[in-house]
Structure 1
Amino acid sequence: MFKKYLPAALAAAAVATLTLAPAAPAAAVAEPTIEVVAGKTSVLKQSNSKFSCPTNEVLIGREHRGDENGDTTFHCGRIYIDGIQVTVLKLDFWGTRTDENDHDYHAPENRAIVGIRHDGDENGDTIYYSGSLFWQGKPVQVLAGYLEGWLRENNHASIGGAQQVMTGRKHQGDENGWTQYEYGWVSFRG
């Protein structure tokens, strides 16, 4: 009779022990390391210009000197998560057309600006192109940006901070008017 109850008693004791033992702490998930590294820099005349960042790069800054015939410098950057470069998918073939001397452009959610085209003089159109970001096949987020303070268009330089990419630009007036940039933070939630 003792043999019959012993396995049941052992099983009950084992269940009681498991129930009372504290659970092992869950392994902490490490936050990914995100880096935005300077990439290609190009200088073009503003009037009738078309600029696009190289493959897998996005805009991280812009500067301009002079009037509509002056030089515009575009700063691109590469994004790395845990040392592996982010892929930029450029499907915005037609871009978003704006009136250069009065516009407020913001890239669609979770996208960064990858190119800018300007047709004509200071009264022409500016077209923005955006790209979606992916890391190892998973979407990368671009968190809500902030608008930088107003800068005089004819003599300024602006580059985003750490982990930031350009997501918008606002401009009022001609080449002597004011420009404001929007930068968003790169984030990856897995």
Structure 2
Amino acid sequence: MIGRKHTGDENGTTSYECGTPINKNGEILSIIIGNWSDAVKESSSKFECPDNSVMIGRRHAGDENGRTEYLCGKLAN
């Protein structure tokens, strides 16, 4: 996941942009799927995946005060 866009209120539309991870030699990297994060309040959250990991999932329920969870995956050769 390399981008996210949301328009409107809690009933609006969210879209995601995805990409393929590659190393400096242009080789495609594998992703080892991790675990979902603990839920956080969307309006007061900032989330970053650990080093050598990428965000591969996001789920949210409700409005800006609803709960959001994130899924990271570790990059592997």
Q: Which TM-score band (shorter chain)?
A: 0.7 to 0.9
AA in 2 matched with 1:133 = L
Are the counterparts in 1 of residues 6 and 12 from structure 2 also a CA contact under 8 Å?
Answer: yes
As a proportion of its length, which structure holds more helix? 1
Are the counterparts in 1 of residues 4 and 14 from structure 2 also a CA contact under 8 Å?
Answer: yes
**Partner Cα separation in structure 2 for residue 63 and residue 83 of structure 1:** 28
Identical pairs, percent: 38
1:22 equivalent in structure 2? none
Give the number of the structure whose alpha-carbon radius of gyration is greater.
1
Structure 1 gaps of 5+ residues are 1-58, 136-190
Are the counterparts in 2 of residues 91 and 131 from structure 1 also a CA contact under 8 Å?
Answer: yes
* Structure 2 residue 48 is the aligned partner of structure 1 residue 110: no
Equivalent pairs counted in the alignment come to 76
* Structure 2 residue 18 is the aligned partner of structure 1 residue 100: no
**Partner Cα separation in structure 2 for residue 122 and residue 115 of structure 1:** 18
As a proportion of its length, which structure holds more strand? 1
Are the counterparts in 1 of residues 9 and 63 from structure 2 also a CA contact under 8 Å?
Answer: no
What is the RMSD computed on CA atoms of the aligned residues? 1.4
Structure 2 gaps of 5+ residues are none
Are the counterparts in 1 of residues 21 and 29 from structure 2 also a CA contact under 8 Å?
Answer: yes
Stretches of 4+ moved more than 6 A in 1?
none
Q: Which structure's relative contact order is higher, taking Cα pairs within 8 Å and 6+ residues apart?
A: 2
